[in-house]
Amino acid sequence: QLQASGGGLVQAGGSLRLSCAAPGGAFTRYFMAWFRLTPGNQRDFVAGVNSGGTTSYADSVKGRFTISRDNSRNTYLQMNDLKPEDTAVYYCAARYGPYRDDAREYNYWGQGTQVTVSS
């Protein structure tokens, strides 16, 4: 039900913008988040935003990534100053309720989009 896009290959220091399209309707009230898959196959929280625009970030991306939403259908992750360690498959996710950084708390997931940062 969520459609993620915008991944690609970029050099270190570069930027990418990920997009996530939701069906609309009730999803405008959901908490939206981005996760990324670790080498150990765990989904780590990257950033999240509630319907009021309040944002949360993992320490590793603070000051470099910005999450936003337009409260119709779309959530975005602007990624600046990318580093090789940001390389991962990124997933958008949604949950009905407040902020959580545990992937198990999310009910809806998009397909992953690959982000590769070369050094």
pLDDT tens across 46-86, in order?
999 999 999 999 999 999 999 999 867 899 999 999 999 99
In this prediction, residue 117 carries a pLDDT of 97
In this prediction, residue 71 carries a pLDDT of 67
In this prediction, residue 26 carries a pLDDT of 83
Cα 97 from Cα 77, distance rounded (Å)? 20
- Over the chain, what is the mean pLDDT? 95
Label residue 1 by pLDDT band (50, 70, 90): confident
Cα 46 from Cα 62, distance rounded (Å)? 9
